Amino acid sequence: MEMSDKAKVGFIGLGYMGHGMAKNILQNGHPMMVKGNRNRTPVESLVGMGATEATSPREMAEQCDIVHICLSNSPQVESVFRGADGLLAGAREGLIVVDCTTADPTSTMALAEELAAKGGHFVDAPLGRTPKEAEEGTLDAMIGADEEVFDRVLPVIECWAGNINRVGGVGAGHKMKLLMNTISMGYAALYAEVTVLGAKAGIPPKMVQKVIGSSRLGNGFFDTFMRCVVDGEREVHKFSIANASKDLKYAGSMAAEADVMTLMLGAARQYFVHAEAIGHAQDYVPWLADHVARMNGVEMAEESAKGR
């Protein structure tokens, strides 16, 4: 395929995940337009590699074949769509919008209908894994899309994802991501709690890390969580407590709509909501262990130093 035959891709939201994803699309030969937020660094990095900077989402919708969005929550996505210079203002027949945000499926379905009315197609493609895999182009992607649209967008998604699953029609990707994050944030709350319980009962965090990590209960999330808590790799999982809390709220709404009892989800959410309420919204998820420790009169840094 000639370079000029490759789909022109727009990318809105160049945060921890977005920069690496956009870089990988660009390096695979796609002409690219980008739109950042306040932080100029990722924008200038991508422009330096050959991307052009869009003045508005509307301009991007008018000029690109496929537009990616990678933001923090549904209100942000809605403003990018519905603003005066938003995507819907510039949307045209055949435009595909790929939303990688962990979003509220109810909002997703409404936006998909509004885009369809303009002749465009919505694809929800939320992400799994971390900024490291975003830079490497090996993220997990769970896709909600019509089959024909999925086939058209797959070559671009393959630029940034290594594990791709189409889980159903539009909205199914965002629902799947909420299931995934209910598990991961449930793990975070559970790991924080048992690590503190161990510390107070005389089992140092280092021993919890060793015993559980080498057993069949070990997993990638446990490994990352404990590398932060025990080994002091504070930046190993750059995902905020605010975002975790938001995801559990969306999952709770999904449960309410489906009339499903979710005791575990509710319990996990309370830890995150509490951490947020006392001013720790921008802490990273594994730092929840420090928060749970403090509530129990323990300093996690001191406990983690034991047995090193």
User: Which residues carry out catalysis?
Assistant: 177
C-alpha to C-alpha distance for 10 and 97, rounded to whole angstroms: 9
Distance of CA 89 to the CA centre of its chain: 26
C-alpha to C-alpha distance for 126 and 132, rounded to whole angstroms: 16
Q: 68: which residues sit within 8 A by CB, 6+ positions away?
A: 9, 10, 11, 12, 13, 18, 21, 22, 25, 97, 98, 99, 100
Angle at 66 between CA 170 and CA 8, to 5 degrees: 165
Question: Are the CB atoms for 243 and 249 separated by under 8 Å?
Answer: no
C-alpha to C-alpha distance for 285 and 137, rounded to whole angstroms: 23
